[in-house]
Structures are given as C-alpha cells and as structure tokens.
Chains A and B, each alone.
Chain A
Amino acid sequence: MAPIETSYTVRVRQLAYSRSGDKGNTSNIGVIAYTAKAYEWLKAELTVEVVKEHFKEVSDGKVDRYELPNLLALNFVLHDVLGGGGSRSLRVDAQGKALGQAMLQLRIPAPSAYVIEEARAAR
C-alpha cells in the first residue's frame, strides 16, 4: 500500500510537528514546521489534494488549508470527518485526537538533505 521508503520521500514528521482536535463533526490539524525552509517546502508539497488523498478512507469531506507563516504553520480543516461528532460517533477516535499523528506519517517528496538535516537538528 505505502511506497517503499527511499531517499526521495520524507515523512511529514521529519519536517514538522502537529496537533489535532475537534469542533462538532469537523477536525483541524495544525502542522508546524521546525524551520523556515521546511515551512516553505511543506507549503508547496502538503497541498489540500495530498491531504485529502491521505485521509480518503476517513472521509471524503471538504478540506480547507490556511497558512500562518508567522508560526511556520499550516492549518488543515477537515469537514465531516468524525463520523457524526459529539457523542454520536462510532469511531474509536471520535474526537480526531489521532489525526495529527496520522498527518505526520504522510509521505511527501523530499527536500534537499540540508533542509531535512536542519529540521532534525531543530527538533
């Protein structure tokens, strides 16, 4: 299912950290880059389409992306993603607490070794 690990992709977690939570049946995932260069890379590669594809088995709802360059962060809002939300969801992760971790597992094309190394050092 997942591509074989090669030097041509990185997991988002190599460049960023995250936090997720819920509002009704919507969840948001904040993705915060370790460095300015990592942020620029994520801004280009971590598109709405890529994120939507990653979470397609969870929901095919709308995904919005907002940029917070001041925090080196992207905020993704995933609509209709929690199986009803509130106390009604049948999912084990009814509150979207795990989505942030799942986002960090996503693979994207790799930036230069320098960007990866700089992000690792900033962890």
Chain B
Amino acid sequence: MGTVRIGNGCGFWGDSPEGPYQLVSRGNLDYLTLDYLAEVALSILTKQMRKNPEAGFAYDFVEALDRIGPLWRDQPGLRIVTNAGGVNPVGCAKACAEVLRRHGLTGRKIALVTGDDLMPDLDRWMANGYEFRHMETGEALGEHRSKLVSANAYIGVRPIVEALAAGADLVLAGRVTDPALALGPAIHAHGWHDDQWNRLAGGTVAGHLIECGTQVCGGISTGWLDIPDPAGIGFPIVEVSDDGFAVVTKPEGTGGRVTEYTVKEQLLYEIGDPVNFLTPDVTVDFTSLRVQEVGENRVLVSGAKGRQPGDEYKVSAAMVAGYMASGELTVFGERAVEKATRAGESVLERLRRVGVTFESTRVECLRTGASVPGTEEVDHGVTEVGLRVTVRDHDREKVRRFSRELASLITAGPPGTTGYAAGRPRVRDTLAYWPTLVARDWITTKIEMIEV
C-alpha cells in the first residue's frame, strides 16, 4: 500500500458532532479515529459508572456512529478506531452494536481493548512496596490511596494493531495513548515491525498532529482571524506513507487551512522535552523533523527519529479533591473594575461573617487580563467587567452555601450588575490529577471480538 489515509473526527469530548460526518462523507478515508479522553476523563466516567453501571463511556461516540451509519454502509472498507470505550468498553460495544444493527450493518466486527485499568491490582502492588510516586512532585501515593477514583495505564498501540489484524471494523479502547489511535492503522497498513523506530516515530508524529482535531487546520492558530470559513473548518487527515512520512491535509472544500504554520503549532502542542517525546511504543525526537508545504492545504512532515521506549507505562490517575463552585456576573458602568472587585470580595466577606470560609477562593475580573494576570496592562477604564468568583472546599455544604449567596449581588451589589440568566452556580466535584508510572510487564492487555 502506498499511503494510508487516516482522519480524526473528534479532538476531545465536547468536539463538534459534525467532525465524524464531515470526514466520512468527504474525507475518502481508510480509517476514522476519534479521541474522547482528556487527562481526568476516566475519573469522571468512573464516577458515572458507579451511579449507573450502563454508563462509563463516551456516549457522544454512539451518537456519532448513528449519524455516520448510513454512510458506513456504502464504505465497507472504512475502519474506525476510538478510545470512546472509557472505563466501560463492554457497555459501549453493546450500545454501538445496537446502532449498527439498526442501520443494517450486521456482520461488522467490534474489538474491545481492555487491560488499562490498574485499580483491581493496585493494593497488591502497593503491598509489594510499589509507591506510585507522583511524576511532578515525587510524593508517594501512600495515604492518598483511599481518595483514588481511577488509575489507568496509557497502553500502547499493540492491541489496536492486533485487533485490526483480527479483522475488527471498529476498535473500542479505553486509555490508550492519543497518537496510538492513528499509529495503529499505520502499522497495520504498512506491516511495520516493532523495532522500525523511525517509522513508528513518523506514525506517532502523524497521530500527534491530528489527535486534537481542527487544531491543526487553523483552529486556535495565531493567524485565526485570517483563516477562511471558520464555520466550515476542516477536520484533519494524515496520509502516512510506508517510510513513516505524513502529509497533513483536510477534506476538499472545507474551511480553515493547513499550512507550515498550523502544523508547526500543533507539533509543539503539549510537548515537553522535544528530544524525548515519550510513548510506550517509541521515544520520538522532534528536533529532526522537517515541515514542508507541498500543495494547497498539504503539508509534508518527514524526518522523524525514533528509538526504543522505556520499560514503564505512564499512568493517568485521579483522586477526589473536594468541591468547587464558580459563578459569573457582568458589571457594567463607570469604574466597573473597582465595582466588580468590591462586589466579589463582599460576597466572600458576608460568608466569613457567618463562619463560612474556604480552603481556596479566587475573585477574577474578566476582560482585564485575568486569564494570565500580570502580563497585560490592565485598562481600568473599561465599562464592562465579567466578575468571576470561585471557591473550593472539601465540605460540600460550604460550597453550596456560596452558590446560594453569589446571586445576592443582583440586588445588593453595584448598579449595572447583570447577566444572571445562568442561575446559581453548580456545585461540582473536583478531581486532582496524579500522573505516575507502572512497570510494563504488570499490564496485560486483552482483546475481545464481538460480531454484530
């Protein structure tokens, strides 16, 4: 095979439902990938599953499948790889099978990839002296164990490749690395071996470039104001060749653009040391990459260098960290910044006087550079400010009390206080992220095949 065409129709849970449809209807794809799992997503899904054993996966994917079902019937060669399985790939597969049957897509094979969940064996490993130290702070998991909601290893590409080799039309995984969703199809299509490090590096870079969807097609680009047709922005496609080179592109006639600049921006997205981009499949060196425009909305990325990865998996774990509520009001009028600041502080003071204090509070005046304080000259002459007040505490009742107090500014606050349509701020659980490592040979991945 010359090149394999892989498109990513979902960059995060919350992305436009138009993505998968655009790519399947106009992308001429070999593979469609969809990425739903941000860092703390599995903890949220775990909590959902505790309340409802049928939940725990990205239901958005089931809806996407329903929308593309009729198109998939006419493209029997198209295969789909996603991490939508979350913490309940079995439940996800059931829901998917039902949708596929409804569209007459019987006979399609769904592969479930499991084995990323560490929770069942965690205590045994800890009893054997393994500490699960926090990668940033070095702290041992120890007493935090009881607060842990979920712990999942970022497993590599192998089970995806095996599932495709076994004939899966749809691969449903949980926590696999984001680039693996595209690397798997590239390996399968080209028959790359485990130690063809440069090719694996190229496929990983290709996956990294499309994993956030439209971000490589002009989304959040520095030149965003100049991109054509943002409403019709294209979802990304990589054409990966046998030598591990990739051309980044998007469907004909879609908006946005793919240029040297948009590709370089996305190459640098969420990376650390560029010489050591770590995945369980290959360690990639970004400093040998070449980026070259080879046509309109076609950018060639070549020269990836790879080497053998380390012998540990990264683990994404999260623990309960109390409760939080955040509310916003708009303050309009002269001296709006002063008014908003005083109003925000007065709410917290009112609560203090009745003995309600919080572990952490924050008053922000939006539109005055609050997103990155101290880096922008504040214009104190603005006549409109978004007042944002946020509190966090382990006592849910206190956070709820705050939520009931903020709106009092509508009558007690400065003149021109408005924008209360959203109602009382919602009290929500917060999760603290605990990145750590686990030895590779402790993880056993499994594939289960279901025929629809």
Contacts and interface: CB of A to CB of B under 8 A. Distances in A.
Nearest to B291: A71
B375 A73 contact: no
Contact of B290 (A2, A70, A80, A99): A70
Given A57-B373, A71-B291, A90-B362, A32 B271 contact: no
Contacts of B376: 102, 105
A84 B375 contact: no
Say which size band chain B's interface belongs to. 35 or more
B222 A104 contact: yes
B375 A23 contact: no
Given A2-B377, A71-B264, A92 B366 contact: yes
Interface string B25-69: 000000000000001100000000000000000000000000000
Contacts of A92: 364, 366, 370-371, 388
A17 B371 contact: no
Nearest to B266: A19
B272 interface: yes
Given A2-B377, A58-B375, A23 B270 contact: yes
B287 interface: yes
A21 interface: yes
B161 interface: no
Nearest to A61: B136
Interface in B431-448: 431-433, 435
Contacts of A85: 433
B273 interface: yes
A43 to B, nearest CB: 14
A54 interface: yes
6 contacts: A19-B268, A24-B39, A58-B374, A73-B264, A86-B430, A90-B326
Interface of B: 39-40, 135-136, 220-223, 261, 264-275, 286-291, 303, 318, 321, 324, 326, 360-362, 364, 366, 370-378, 388, 390-392, 428-433, 435
